[in-house]
Chain A
Amino acid sequence: MLNHFTKSFHKNPQSPNPSNKLKGLTHLLTLLSCLSLLTHCGKKEETAAQTTPILIAATPELNVLTEALLNGELSVESTPEESLPSLLKEAAERTYVLIPASLASDNYETWLTELLAEGAKPLVVTNPSSLSPEKTLLSLNEITKSLLENTSVSSELEKQSDRLRAEIEPLSQRWNTALQTLPKEAKLYTIHKELDPLSTILPTEFSVIELEALAENIQTAKTKLALLAHEPKKRTTIKLEELGLSSIRFDAGPLTSTSALLESLETNTTSLEQLAKSVQSAFAQPILKDFEHGMVELIENYCIECHDEINEEGGVNFELFLTESSAIKRPEFWEEVKAQVELGAMPPKKRDQLTSEEKEFFITWIDSLSERWDSGEFGADPGRTTVRRLNKNEYNYTIRDLFGIKIRPADGFPEDSGGAAGFDNNADALFLPALLMENYVEAAGHIVEAIYANREARARYLFKRPTTRKSEEPVAKTVLNRWISLAFRRKATPEEVDKYTAIFTQARTKAKTFDDAMKMPLLGLLIAPDFLYRSEVEQAKPDAYLISDFDLASRLSYFLWSSMPDPELLSLASKGELSQEGVLEEQVIRMLKDPKADSLPMHFAGQWFGWEELRSRANPDKDRYPEFTFPLRVALYKESTSFFQHLIKTNASAYDLLQSDYAFLNEKVAKHYGIPGVEGPEFRKVDLLDDTRGGVLGMGSVLVATSLPLRSSPAVRGDFILADILGTPPPDPPMNVEQLPADDQEIKNQSFREALEAHRQDPNCKSCHQIIDPLGFAMEQYDAIGRWRTTHNGHPIDASGQLPDGTAISSPNDIRNHLLENKDLFIRNFTEKLLSYALGRELTAYDRPIVADITQKVIAEDGNVHTIFIEVAKSYPFRHRRNDDYTPAGAITKATQISE
């Protein structure tokens, strides 16, 4: 072995030069790594006695010295030729070996390996820079001498080496740890050389590892790593070139001192750690493009048996989503699936369960899909609301504002249904059956009579009167021009004016007076589709486009007032100024302050939080709850509308809906709540003196709407909080679930709560109910008509529970505080609801980035109510529309597509 050493020296008796130095350093570094690897995973028996290897520092002087030694220019004790080798050998045998910065030796590693295998210990030699060559030589002599004599010099060196060793030890450990964190599937090979698998990781030929390349190419690398990770387990190695990493560089500065070397080592260790981390996370993270490998396998193993096209349990069919292109279109579907899997509700307990890695992969994939949608990666689409019939309320308010009469003809119309978000202004849910058309015709007749019976309204309609018989037709034209424009909410076309005037002319042949003849065209206006429906100008463009100012005026007024635009809006629209940013914001604020915005507390908030139900479905049992009189019903309804109205009028924070230290009460409601000192029928702001009330959860109307006729319902209330306040609905219950008795007075010996809990022992029920029930139980201190109670059926109420994150709750106030910790969810939900209401359609995945953006802005403004309305009015879907043939990935600019 020493011969190798000797040989190598003889082979390259070069004088040191910079490139050689560099190479040498590299070699040393490599050496270090090899050493550490060897120690770590090498031949255990032989190296058992090894301590942690120590860095060899190279010194130019040492090179010179060694060479001089070898060249016989120096002498030690014996002749160089013969005795140096043996000297060195002896030194080696005594476990020290001097390793100079020998260069360019192919067998260098082998020699060292062999040396080490024989129990040699490398020696740290610091740079005696203060020494002159002669002195260095001398020190070498001394070193050698002491080596032989085992003197204190060696212990000095030993100390130095110990110190270095101590500094390098942690680096070495980090090195090893970094190696260990690499997934076992990923053992990197160098491009140029395949070393012994145990000693892989770093290239030997390379002088450089490029971390920048890593950062830039990480996505590619991740993709490929993941692909490889999911292949059947044939492969155990990956080549760097397969990762797309073409070159790697270690940061190597001039290593003239151990500190520099240490620094370099530090950097290199860090580089390795980062590399290992990236590789590790690349293996852990599912790649979206790789849906078809990872997700599909899991679906096929755990889901498809029950949820395929044939069985479609629970209405869920995964066969629709087995390709990436179909799957990524439905983030909301995956979010529902995630909720089931996360809670452990699916797969059902009696079936195979996902391992924790599989579950994490599954959920991470879904989360990353949601994030991608939220970031707007899939393109923009402002959506397209179908032509929208005025609903009942809008009809009434529009008539009120158009003519100034107090008639409410739509009260007799059939109720409108609603869309998925729960609002009755959803265009697709508004139908026009024969019955309703009859109602419109009849109502139109009544309205015309009412206008004519009211002097002001009549004068407003017939604002111009003819003086002669001949002037009648031109006057009719002028009058009808204005009224068509008002009724149709846009400028009348000349053809329309002519047609309606012709109706007048024809009617005039039979009518006794001008006024009488003007009834018929008015009637026509009131049943015309341009009045009954809100349509928007469809521009012949393949891209999305800004809606016209008149269309914007209508959208704004029906959004904030459920009624037609007023003169100010129409004037701004006709001047083309409405869509200017400052103007739009100003108008929104003006409109929110107008009394017409009372439609929002009634129709928007009422349908969102449920107090709308007091107007129809909510019916506490008359015998069980005789206190729930009709006047109380009305009062509780008005409490809620007054509260929401206050938020809008004063631009308060939306968080007051979650928790407030005030409520809007009148005498009747206050009595119902047991709050003293409130007199009179008007509603006014009252400071709450305890925490039994506050926010929407303290409102009687909401509490009634979330109860059954004979009892309160913890499940309904828990679901309400999760779904309607936080926007995180629990999974749907299985179809054939048995409910608790409808009447809680029937459960004799248990408290209702005990009965509820016994009912839910089934683990299939528990997985979802563990998030629903604690909320519902904590609300039990409110009875089915919203009164506060501490006992029920003779049992004290146990409202205590624990949320999934461990938070203990035991009262509605605890829930309210919990809600305040989830402001982001609440604001997101508020935004979704408001956007759906404003647009009159259900939201799609393309609305997600809009919602995310608005949510962020509103939270930054501390939940300020005006901000939400303004941001919705300024949002992309509210200001734009597109046609049926639009595709979101971008504009189709073929000229041939324009037209028809």
Chain B
Amino acid sequence: MKKSWHIERRHMLRGIGATVALPFLEAMMPSSRVLAQEAEDVAKSAGALGAEGQKVRFTGVFMPNGFDHSRFTPKRSNLDELSPILSPLEGLQDYVNVVTNMNSVGGHALGTAGMLTGSTPVKTPNASDLDVLHPSIDQIIGQATKHTTVLPSLELATHTPRSGTSMNGFTEIYTSFMSYRSANTPVPPEIDPMRAFDRLFKNARLSSDKSARKKADIIAPNKSVLDLVLDNAKSLQRRLGRSDQQKLEEYLTAVREIEEKAANASANNKELTITSEVLKNISATRRDIRKAYGGGEEDNIKTVPNLSYQDHIRLQFEIIALALWSNTTRSATFMFGDGLNARNVSFIDGVSGNHHTISHHGDKAENLEIFAKINTFFVAEYANFLKRLEGMKEGSSNVLENSICYMSSNISTGQSHNGRSMPAIIAGHAGGSLKGNRHIDAKGAPSGDALRSVLHEMKVRGRIGEGNGRLSGLT
């Protein structure tokens, strides 16, 4: 396999330094070279690869409150003629598969937690009984491919989590999180683009950049410390009760992941694809983010970044795109908002109000028209993201060619609150094996079928979702 871009990258990286992502790990574990070699060996065939050996990457996108089907559903079985809501995808049809009529769980809370699992979460108002039955697809893919990249997964969003119980008596944790590491542990997303960016690209600068990074001066724990705290956790587990085991298991997993990431520290350079082109884009985005934030407000009580909704969405998508392009991760997710999304969307032309309220359209024509405008906005943002991926060259293809992206919702169409007739917009050629320009009517098949198709494309094994086949017509 020709890896011409690899060679180019290595030259660049020598100027940058050992670690790009997770800069605080730089000081850790030089002695884990052995681990790194092992990881490299294991990683060789994890996950699907494109024609030139590019790693196929997954992105999951959550849009709350569903669609106006009359303006969404394509009339034919191809996408030559795009419906009004899908019109932003003009020019991308070749990469896109629109699936309609899937059966999913539905509901603001359960539907959100179930979008990437394809299963119905256990119905409970209590955090203590939280249970989505198994990990979500992004985490399955992430864990399977983590040795071939830096971060197992990347989760971004724009909302702070809700507290308490939803209107139908389910824990708001379901409404807030769609990524689940295990049946009982959600993965909270990073909502601050500045922090998300720094986590991945803080030290990534062009070698000609005079404001080159300072040497890492914050201290990081060494292996002995990590061993000590792991030991501490295990003895706590022994001392405490059964119901505490899970919490401490989370701690153990999290610390081991840090070790793993540090172990990958030297190996990860071989996996990164940070060409000068990528670097230029990273630097531009860094400037973009700083600009979008503007000045910090005095006496800031806010726990969310001071960004407009559009900027927030755009920047998070950009960071995901860069993370994929640089192979910092192979599994990313983005939530436009939480499962309710009571966000003010009046900036959309012809819309006045908040997303959730408008989604209760009552099936009335004038309400549906406005609701459809909101749908179109979100599809447009997704389309921008896809175009961005298309524009990111790698070898003789691009990131979108070597990706599979999955956008769907928690509720089929606001008003109904159910998950029947659920659509999804799948994009990317998954390295060449997935055809585009199709409208596939799932005829009531469970959304788990579509997720299984995604796993198939990613060449990752895992159990997911209700039902047990793949979505016919897709793969």
Mark A residues whose CB is within 8 Å of B: 314-315, 384, 386-387, 389, 411-412, 414-424, 426-438, 441-442, 444-446, 448-449, 499-500, 502-503, 506-507, 519-521, 523-524, 527-530, 532-533, 535, 538, 607, 614-617, 619, 621, 623-624, 630, 633-634, 637, 708-710, 732-733, 735-743, 745-746, 841-842, 883-884
Contacts and interface: CB of A to CB of B under 8 A. Distances in A.
Contact of A415 (B188, B225, B241, B364): B188
A449 B217 contact: yes
B188 A435 contact: yes
B389 to A, nearest CB: 23
Contacts of A637: 301
Contacts of A538: 239-241
Contacts of B176: 417
B245 to A, nearest CB: 9
Closest 6 CB pairs of A and B: A742-B353, A418-B163, A738-B362, A445-B218, A709-B344, A437-B254
Contact of B242 (A434, A607, A884): A884
A743 B351 CA distance: 9
A449 B219 contact: yes
B221 A524 contact: yes
B15 interface: no
B251 A432 contact: yes
Interface string B235-254: 01001111110011011011
B228 A745 contact: no
Contacts of B244: 386-387, 535
Interface string B162-176: 111101111111001
Interface in B224-275: 224-225, 228-229, 231-233, 236, 239-244, 247-248, 250-251, 253-255, 257-258
B297 interface: yes
Contact of B161 (A417, A500, A732): A417
A648 to B, nearest CB: 20
B360 A737 contact: yes
B128 A535 contact: no
B172 A418 contact: yes
Contacts of A315: 123, 168-170
Contacts of A745: 352
Interface stretch (B40-48, B189-197, B206-214, B422-430): B189-197
Contacts of B177: 417
A261 B221 CA distance: 98
Contacts of B299: 634
A883 B257 contact: no
Q: How large is the interface on B (under 10, 10 to 19, 20 to 34, 35 or more residues)?
A: 35 or more
B310 interface: no
A52 to B, nearest CB: 63
B66 interface: no
A500 B228 contact: yes
B357 A708 contact: yes
Nearest to A449: B218
Residue among B244, B248, B417 with max Cβ neighbours from chain A (10 Å): B244
B222 interface: yes
Given A433-B185, A527-B221, A535-B240, A710 B163 contact: no
A416 B169 CA distance: 20
Nearest to B229: A528
B148 to A, nearest CB: 17
Contacts of A506: 224
B168 A417 contact: no
A888 to B, nearest CB: 16
Contact of B228 (A445, A503, A507, A710): A503
Contact of A314 (B168, B181, B253): B168
Contacts of A533: 236, 247-248, 251
B127 A420 contact: yes
Given A414-B190, A884-B241, 13 more contacts: A412-B192, A417-B162, A424-B163, A432-B250, A433-B186, A441-B25, A502-B224, A524-B225, A615-B301, A633-B301, A709-B344, A740-B357, A842-B128
A424 B25 CA distance: 29
Interface string B148-161: 00001001000111
A419 B163 contact: yes
B220 A384 contact: no
A634 B301 contact: yes
B377 interface: no
Nearest to B418: A735
A653 to B, nearest CB: 27
B190 to A, nearest CB: 6
A898 B218 CA distance: 48
B137 to A, nearest CB: 17
Residue among B107, B127, B128, B191 with max Cβ neighbours from chain A (10 Å): B127
B188 A433 contact: yes
Contacts of A743: 346, 352-353
A428 B246 CA distance: 10
Contacts of B75: none
A708 B301 CA distance: 21
B371 to A, nearest CB: 11
B293 interface: no
Given A442-B24, A528-B232, A616 B218 contact: no
Residue among A414, A434, A503, A521 with max Cβ neighbours from chain B (10 Å): A434
